[in-house]
Amino acid sequence: MSSPELISAMWKVLLALTVGLCVVLALRGLCRRWLGAERACLLWWLPWLAVAVSQLPHAVGAVQSGWPAVVVTMTSAASYWQAPVAVESAWTWQALIPMVWLLGIAFLVTRMVVSQRRYRRQLRGATSIIGTAIHADVLRASRNDIGPALVGIWRPSIVVPHDFDRRYDAREQALVLAHEAAHASRRDVWWSLCAQLTVTLCWFHPLVWYALRAFHLDQELACDAAVLRMHAGQHRAYAQAMLKTQSTSMSLPIGCSWSVRHPMTERIAMLKQLPPGRARRVAGRVTLSMIVLILSGGIYAATANDSATFQPAQSTVDDAYHAWQHAREAYIAYLRRGGDKGRASNATLGLPAADSGQFGKTVKRLDVEAGGGFALALADARGNDAGHLDFFVFPVPDAASNYSWKCTSADIPTIQSLHPECRYAPQPSAAEQASAAKRGHRLKVELGVNGKPPRLHADVCLKDGGHYETIQGGVDPLPAWKVKLGVAEAAEGQLEVKAEISGGSLDKTVYPAIRMPPGQTGTIQLGEKVADEHGRTEDRTLKMDLTPGAGC
């Protein structure tokens, strides 16, 4: 998964988790009254369900017509250059975000492990209690302020305080043990672990901390309701057992304990409420089912991809690849004849027109673009849209074949399984493009003059509206080349590099522009080659290889 895909997935997870938590916190009180505390606790499944739904794949559909891989145009630069040059170092505050997040996770994991081990150390002197009616190990702690609690994941044990026999009478002892046994039967230790992991991963989210406290309280209320269901008429004795229990300040991250985080007054108040009748339980279940369906559908729609995807047949991709191979060979032959790659097109390569339909049944369009780009629009057997492939050919110094290539698709997620040498590179969503614009754009520049190897190697960060300037000497007595470059958002996730070039062998200022996907390289080359009186050719050209990227 590429970085944009990972960021998009994380954003969807946070959005779904936030919506799910808000729904639960808003409805938990109402659900307790309609469903009872035991079933209302199931409402906490919603946040995790929402996260799972947000990552489901979306339906295949049509895609809007896209820009070709590289488009070279001439455009006016009026009102484009507004802000001064903004060049930043590679270390930005955005680069610190993952480090801070990981440090926060490490701190919380360390604190959780230390707290759990500290609690377990207090149980070293605990002794087993034999003869209880509970199907679980019951341990008597060596201190009065430890327990009641349920400790352990694989083999949970019930821990009671050292003065358990003196503090509670026989009925109260049975109720306390039944409460902890209810935790064990409901697998509350495992759910407590899941909740702690969620908080650890999303520690920066204030809502998860509030939700953790509410989750633990709802666990206790559900167990209280389960105990009173099994021990009808024991409300008073159960309330007395609660009041006799000491709240401990010792943290037990993975487990269920009576602590200061469980409001005793709210739990005792719940004991006075009558359990809901059958009609209210049925109505509550229907309402809860509707909430689940509405929330799942809403999150699924909200996290849909901005651009649709395709899944063409293997034969469609194979035929399109063979059609491109013919175009690639024509392009390389064109370059070896001395052709200018900045002026490459279907016509200069001797190929049919882009939309002539002469590239086969599976290729609706094949565009050869200046700079080494090839854009293919695919079609299925019925002539319907089947996705797009973008190829890019570039020279490889000191290689036997001299040229290499890469293949990407913005709307065929399975392209790598259909052709191992191609990669899926979806276009960023509108929200991601807006976010990238705020972060600026990165631009890599390789610039050479007079037909010589590049003399300028720059990697700059341009804030929104900013530009990069350079002056490069030419051939005497011609003036120096003056170059001004900027990057702007273009349609369908592409980036446009705009240039303002003067001097050198130019008699006026020109404004070329190249449009391409982020990370792809395009070339601007201009000037002239002049033969002197001795028949020697003098190169008076400027050549720039430009690679824009989203975000700095």
Last-in-domain residue among 407, 425, 443? 425
Report the distance separating Cα 63 and Cα 426, nearest Å. 12
Inside any domain, residue 404 = yes
Helix (H, G, I), strand (E, B) or coil at 133: coil
Amino acid at 360: G
Q: Would residue 353 count as lying in a domain? A: yes
Q: Are residues 475 and 340 in the same domain?
A: no
User: Which CATH number characterizes residue 341's domain?
Assistant: 3.30.700
Same domain, 381 and 487: no
63 within a domain of the structure (yes/no): no
- Whether residues 147 and 245 fall in one domain: yes
Measured CA distances, 464 to 86, 151, 169, 249, 518 (Å): 9, 55, 73, 52, 16
**Which candidate, 204, 290, 254, places its Cα nearest to that of 17?**
204
Position 267 in a domain: no
Residue where a domain stops, chosen among 425, 446, 466: 425
518 three-state secondary structure: coil
The span from the CA of 258 to the CA of 115, in Å, is 16
Q: Is the domain of 187 the same as that of 133?
A: yes
pLDDT digits (tens), the chain, 552 positions: 444 455 666 777 888 899 889 989 998 888 888 778 888 888 898 888 888 887 776 554 433 333 333 333 333 333 333 333 333 444 555 567 788 889 999 999 999 999 889 888 888 888 888 767 677 788 888 888 887 888 888 888 888 888 888 888 989 888 989 998 999 888 989 999 999 999 999 999 999 999 999 999 889 888 888 888 888 888 888 888 888 887 666 778 888 887 645 566 667 767 666 666 677 767 777 777 787 788 777 777 666 654 567 889 999 999 999 999 999 999 999 988 888 777 888 999 999 999 888 998 889 999 998 778 899 999 988 888 889 999 988 776 555 567 888 899 988 988 988 898 898 887 765 556 566 556 678 899 999 888 888 888 888 888 777 888 888 876 667 788 889 999 888 776 788 899 999 888 888 888 888 888 888 888 888 888 777 667 677 888 889 999 998 777
Last-in-domain residue among 375, 400, 425: 425
Residue 15 in any domain: the answer is yes
The answer to whether residues 321 and 302 belong to one domain is no
Do 445 and 419 lie in a common domain?
no
Query: What's the number of CA atoms in the CB half-sphere (13 Å) around residue 460?
Result: 21
Task: Give the helix ranges, DSSP H, for 303-382.
Answer: 314-336
Mark whether 339 and 450 lie in a shared domain.
Answer: no
Segments forming the whole domain that contains residue 125:
100-261
Helices (H) and strands (E) in the chain, counts: 14, 19
248: its two tokens: 């401990």
- Statement to judge: residues 165 and 40 lie in one domain: no
Calculate the alpha carbon distances from 121 to 55, 114, 192, 259 in Å: 41, 10, 20, 18
* 91 domain residue, yes or no: no
Q: Please tell me whether residues 301 and 324 are part of one structural domain.
A: no
Distance CA 493, CA 499 (A): 20
Tokens for 252, please give them: 């037990």
Task: Give domain status of residue 85, yes or no.
Answer: no
Counting the structural domains of the chain, the total is 4
Characterize the bridge pairing of strands 403-409 and 422-424.
Answer: parallel
**Do 380 and 293 reside in the same domain of the chain?**
no
- Say whether both 327 and 368 belong to one domain: yes
Put simply, whether the predicted model's pTM sits higher than 0.75 gets the answer: no
Instruction: Determine contact, residues 512/506, Cβ cutoff 8 Å.
Output: no
Nearest Cα to 545, choosing from 370, 350, 308, 317? 370
Residue 222 dihedral angles phi and psi, to the nearest 5°: -65, -40
Query: Are 114 and 251 contained in the same domain?
Result: yes
